Amino acid sequence: MIDKFDLVLFDLDNTLLTGDSDFEWAQFLIDKGVLDRELQESRNLEFFQQYQAGTLDIHAFLDFQLLPLSRHSRSELDAWHAEFMVARIRPIIGAAASALVRRHANAGALSAIVTATNSFVTGPIAREFGIPHLIATVPEQDAGSGRYSGKPRGLPAFREGKIARVESWLESMGLWWGSFAHSYFYSDSLNDLPLMNMVSDPVAVDPDETLRAHALEMGWPVISLH
């Protein structure tokens, strides 16, 4: 009989990171003068507050989030992202989060980041953590030039969409929820309750008030990485 191993899923923003990469990317572009501060900053904050309240319209948000990608070449975007990693992301990667990722990796778990934030922003962050798999919202791009269209491709990895995307990923490897000794999902957000209810071992990480109350009611672990 083959020994089972663990499945470990991590939310990214305000879970592994002590901040929100989506929000920080928009603010980074504003600070560089790529986006207009007066027009963009208040809208960015508005979407962030809607996400925190559990009222975000993911499609309206993606129209806002992905449009700037379509206005610039991939080489220009990649250069900006390298700056973004140094200025905005590495300072919000904490030692406790990195240690948690390493602990599961050393135990032989199959690990993935599962995030609504698009894969252009989050791909390099997943690699920074050494996490081999990323399940993120995918921005549509031209296969030849790599240029983005400003629209998402496929189902956004948000709320129930995270379940569908994870299950599709598992199926592509001939796996399902029952393939694992334990399945973990670490998250801070009420928006992730659908996926947290799917795994055997949900863990609330520095949770918002709604998730904290639910976790305490259900007897889920509540931890801090920040």
Catalytic residue set: 11, 13
SS3 15: helix
Write the DSSP symbol of residue 17.
Answer: B
User: Whose CA is closest to 86, among 24, 144, 132, 166?
Assistant: 24
Q: What is the 3-state secondary structure (H, E, C) of 76-126?
A: HHHHHHHHHHHHHHHHHECHHHHHHHHHHHHCCCEEEEEEEEEHHHHHHHH
**Tokens linked to 97:** 């989060």
Q: How far is CA 134 from CA 49, 129, 194, 206, in A?
A: 25, 11, 18, 22
* Closest among 21, 3, 2, 23 to 12, alpha carbons compared: 21
The answer to whether the CB of 17 falls within 8 A of the CB of 89 is: yes
- CA dist 186 and 15 (Å) reads 7
